[in-house]
Amino acid sequence: MSSSSRRPEPPPSLAATRLRRFAVAVAAVAVIGGLAALQALREFRDDAGVAAAAVTGPVRYRHPGNAFALTLPAGWAVRPRDADRSSNDLAFVGFRGPDGLELWVRLRDLGHDRPERLADELRAQAEQMSLPIEPIATNVAGRIAFVRRLGMYGTEVQTVDLLVGTTNHHLQIAAPKGRLDAWAPVWQAIVDSYEPLPASP
């Protein structure tokens, strides 16, 4: 049979397309400092067999390791996650709200206590991925913090990074496209309530 009579190659499968999109999304999340966050999101949404603690709220959530505290509205769920010690993680907790709204708090030891260096590191991460996301300076819990925003594959993400000593407190809020702004009063109140705490000795 001649090559001219060969059938055309079938289009890539839906699963392969989704896999490629997922790989791109992983890279984008790495830019904004959530190296494990997208995997956490996937597990958090798909892992229905693992129970999450229901919060009747509003309630003041305090991390079991005394790393941070924040106030959660009614109807949120809490799911502590294993910190990745190989990446200098100190704590990693996921929170799920209504309408697909989710929040992660990840603490990591950066080995320095300079906010201007943190801003440079965030900028460098973005430049490495050719996605120049400029961190915007603000104030959270009485400290200099840096806010960034990114949209990707139907999800909107906003991050907040601040330093307490040498610990980077990274808050990441995610929502389906078009819902992040709609829920801004809710997640902004949570961010405003955030309190870094001294870790237990």
pLDDT, tens digit, 9 for 90 and up, residues 128-162:
877 768 899 998 888 999 999 987 778 899 999 99
Least Cα distance to 74 among 192, 174, 186 occurs for 186
Q: What is the pLDDT of residue 21?
A: 46
CA 162 to chain CA mean position, Å = 14
CB 92 within 8 A of CB 106: yes
Q: Residues, the chain, total?
A: 201
Identify the band that residue 49 occupies on the pLDDT scale cut at 50, 70 and 90: very low
Q: What is the DSSP letter of 113?
A: -
